[in-house]
Amino acid sequence: LPDGLRPDHLRLFWQPDRYPGTAEPPLVNPVIDLRAGTVTFDTPGLGAFQLGYPPDAGQPIQRRLTWRTITGISMGAGAAMYLGTRYADQFDYIAPLGGPTDWPYLMRYIRGRLLGGFCTADSPEGVGSWCGLPAPTEPYEHDSTYLDWFFADNGGRFDREEYVQIFQDLAYAYGNPFLYNDQSPYRPPGMPRDELLRPKAERCAAECRGDNCPAPATFTIATGFYDDEYNPDGALPVIGYCDGEDGEPLGVFDDAVPHRDPVEVLLAVDVNGNGRRDANEPVLRNAFEPYADVGCDGVPSSLEDGYDPITAPDPAGDDYDWYRNPRGTEGNWLFDGADRCGAGITEPYEDVGLDGVPDTPQLADGGYDFGEGNGRFDLNPNFARFLERSGGLIFQDLPAADRERLRVWADGGIRDIFNFATATNHLMGRLQGAGQNVRVYDRFPSILPTDDEVFVPALATPDPFGQLGQSVFVRYGDPEADALAIDMGDGAHVGTVPQAINRFITMFDWVHNRWPEGDHAPVPPPFEREDTVVFFHSERLGKTYRYGLSLPPGYGRAENADVRYPVVLLLHGYGQGPEDLPVAGTLLAGFMANGNWQKSILVYPEGFCGDSDAYQCNDGVDNDGDGLVDAGNDRLRRRACEDDGDCNGDYTCRENHMGLGRFCCPPDWTHCGPPEQEVCGNRQSGRSESGEPVTLCSDGVDNDLDGRTDLDDQGCMGRPEQDTEADCKQGSFYTTHVAGRDGEAGGPDFEGAMLDLLEHLDAHYRTRRPETVTIRR
């Protein structure tokens, strides 16, 4: 073997016994001993195997480095994979930890399972009955249906209410993938803007059970809403409906209990006409025109010449398989047109519009269908946007130099509530199919350098993961785990405590040992460092954006004034905020200080858009003009004073604006005075200093700290009676929203805020600038 050959250079070639052609799959669970000349690995099938390596393995090459990594958790992981490939010139390494990393698979799961199980019009049982779904065929996929959404509380409380909010936030971010409306990226066709402004109780009135119920006020399209599965003649009414958690068992729909959360982005067929969605009444899911996913040859495998279900299940060699054939076009959950099949060639489809029914009125003519008779295959444009923002598909189309340069570290739990290990299988297959040399490992013990349960970086074993693979995927969780281990979180969304620690530390170790020429100099304790939350104005977002920041040990020392550092962006999960993650900087700083890792600037961008942090009782303003300010939880520090020497901490002695004397107050407060004890008490979340009721859209306070107040904030939808300034429910998905809170086109540009953040970091901190360096391949 040539000098400089490493285990990660080896590539597997496989001629399967049952399939034509030669596959180049990722190595799964490889154990490589170059000295002994042995390699073992897992394979799903037999055949002839051969290993190869690039002729320039270990040789010096020139590589452009940006000195940036983008990583993320859950929601942030999917965003990291998207942003890291969409802006490939801005990053070197992408590290999605769990998360929606592959939208073709996840859209198939959401549409097919989470919205499925209802009997169709052509079934013997008919619409309004329950038919269920066959068992999943994808490894580790949950056996969910619409009536039984898989529930877990590892890493969050993912009940039916949370599912509904996630569907809504996805529609704000990408558009409604299952019901297209040319007047709104968010709302279903026919639903007016005012429907979203009605109180929840009014929209869900039909959910009332028993006596003394109000009259139903359900949004209804009485007739003419066609659907090939559930309403082919358009005779049944279609309604907006309510769902959400209804009690034990969590995640399971209980038809006997009222549901209080308007779904907003879906419609149901009201078979019995009672104004609410009953258990077996179906929801509509019109993502694309009907097509046959049989590949570019237009023939299903069972009709291909030479087919045998045992010895030759795919004679044409076009069946999609994430491991064996990631470029396959049959069964890949994508419509393959001329862009994949060649000029004039497409998979078979019916040009009947998204509703799947021929000769129905189009949106432009006052109907509810889109795309019929236009001579081309149509996706719901919002569904298409999910695919356009899917990192693996973007990666496949990158220039060869970027596909060679980028590296990916990913993980996923085999029991993750959203099947993120399964999704990332498909992501890694797309990377492999685009030329990467991917390695897949099951369980953290298979990669850790010691037998310890938790990985701790050690100077004696530097960079233990550097030769695992060009790109690496760890599927954590024990398939044979017992009930106790599963209850403790084995393979779940976050995992057990050891799994959660290993997820972070192995990824950070891999990242911090990839860049050459890093600053590994030890910093003796005690060392000063900074963890803080920073606000700046984002031009692209058009308002204030915030991020958490952890500067490396020794950053502020005079001898390091000319030292520049790489940047690691860590995007948080759904429902979190940037203030939740800087604690990680405290843990990681020790590994930088003792020389295990090179030093870097850690940044935690804002991805939470549903929070309220400021109120009249904590905003530092005398909102009612009586000279008293905010809640009194700091009353031992907020006292009368003569000068700053009478004040504790960073409080300063200031004159009260109403002439009540001098008081110690925080220096950033607009007004200074004694507490508004009678009204606010000690509650910083108190809404009103005067005691008069106010909403968050009429209180004169920038509640979500984005630089916009009340009706100037898009989240208020122009209505003072609204009670949130938030731009969405909980998570932004770090992308450009196609819809605002009212469902109208033009939501906040969170993706642009990320680009502004990169420029802001370069302008305000000593970041390393892009350069071309010599490294060994």
Query: At a CB cut-off of 8 Å and minimum separation 6, what does 450 contact?
Result: 461
Task: Report the candidate in 266, 245, 241 with the shortest Cα–Cα distance to residue 254.
Answer: 245
Please write the tens of the pLDDT for every residue from 312-337: 999 999 999 999 999 999 999 999 99
H/E stretch holding 80: helix 75-86
Amino acid at 325: N
In whole angstroms, what is the distance from residue 204 CA to residue 253 CA?
16
In whole angstroms, what is the distance from residue 743 CA to residue 241 CA?
17
Indicate the average pLDDT of the chain: 96
The residues spanned by each domain of the chain are: 1-58, 616-695
Mean pLDDT along residues 23-38 = 95
User: By percentage, how much of the chain surpasses pLDDT 90?
Assistant: 92
In whole angstroms, what is the distance from residue 290 CA to residue 120 CA?
15
Whether the pLDDT of residue 385 is over 90: the answer is: yes
In whole angstroms, what is the distance from residue 659 CA to residue 656 CA?
5
Mean pLDDT along residues 26-46 = 95
Please write the tens of the pLDDT for every residue from 254-299: 999 999 999 999 999 999 999 999 999 999 999 999 999 999 999 9
Please write the tens of the pLDDT for every residue from 754-770: 999 999 999 999 999 99
In whole angstroms, what is the distance from residue 510 CA to residue 597 CA?
9
Residue with tokens 């809170």: 741
Whether the ω angle into residue 526 lies within 30 degrees of 0, i.e. cis, is: yes
- The pLDDT value given to residue 156: 83
368: β partners: none
Mean pLDDT along residues 725-742 = 96
In whole angstroms, what is the distance from residue 628 CA to residue 621 CA?
9
CB 263, CB 179: distance < 8 Å: no
- The pLDDT value given to residue 1: 77
Secondary structure (H, E, C), 395-456: HHCCCHHHHHHCEEEEEEECCCCCCHHHHHHHHHHHHHHCCCCEEEEECHHHCCCCCCCCCC
Please write the tens of the pLDDT for every residue from 448-461: 999 999 999 999 89
Mean pLDDT along residues 126-138 = 97
- The pLDDT value given to residue 609: 87
Query: At a CB cut-off of 8 Å and minimum separation 6, what does 132 contact?
Result: 117, 145
Q: For residue 439, what are the CA distances in angstroms to 48, 74, 213, 490?
A: 19, 21, 59, 22
Amino acid at 356: G
- The pLDDT value given to residue 528: 82
Sort strands 567-571 and 68-73 into parallel, antiparallel or unpaired: parallel
Kindly indicate the confidence band of residue 555, based on its pLDDT and cuts at 50, 70 and 90. very high
Please write the tens of the pLDDT for every residue from 484-510: 999 999 999 999 999 999 999 999 999
In 64-101, which positions are buried (b, 16+ CB within 10 angstroms) versus exposed (e)?
Answer: ebbbbbbbbbbbbbbbbbbbbbbbbebbbbbbbbbbbb
- The pLDDT value given to residue 261: 97
Kindly indicate the confidence band of residue 575, based on its pLDDT and cuts at 50, 70 and 90. confident
Whether the pLDDT of residue 669 is over 90: the answer is: yes
Whether the pLDDT of residue 581 is over 90: the answer is: no
Mean pLDDT along residues 434-463 = 95
CB 407, CB 431: distance < 8 Å: no
Query: At a CB cut-off of 8 Å and minimum separation 6, what does 314 contact?
Result: 18, 19, 20, 301, 304, 330
Query: At a CB cut-off of 8 Å and minimum separation 6, what does 385 contact?
Result: 174, 175, 177, 738
In whole angstroms, what is the distance from residue 394 CA to residue 523 CA?
41
- The pLDDT value given to residue 73: 96
Kindly indicate the confidence band of residue 582, based on its pLDDT and cuts at 50, 70 and 90. low
Kindly indicate the confidence band of residue 155, based on its pLDDT and cuts at 50, 70 and 90. confident
In whole angstroms, what is the distance from residue 419 CA to residue 77 CA?
14
In whole angstroms, what is the distance from residue 379 CA to residue 291 CA?
11
User: By percentage, how much of the chain surpasses pLDDT 70?
Assistant: 99
In whole angstroms, what is the distance from residue 593 CA to residue 359 CA?
69
- The pLDDT value given to residue 583: 67
- The pLDDT value given to residue 587: 81
In whole angstroms, what is the distance from residue 517 CA to residue 599 CA?
11
DSSP string, 499-563: HHHHHHHHHHHHHHTTSSS------PSS----EEEEEEEETTTTEEEEEEEEPPTTTTSGGGTT-
Please write the tens of the pLDDT for every residue from 215-225: 999 999 999 99
DSSP annotation of 112 = I
CB 132, CB 282: distance < 8 Å: no
- The pLDDT value given to residue 771: 97
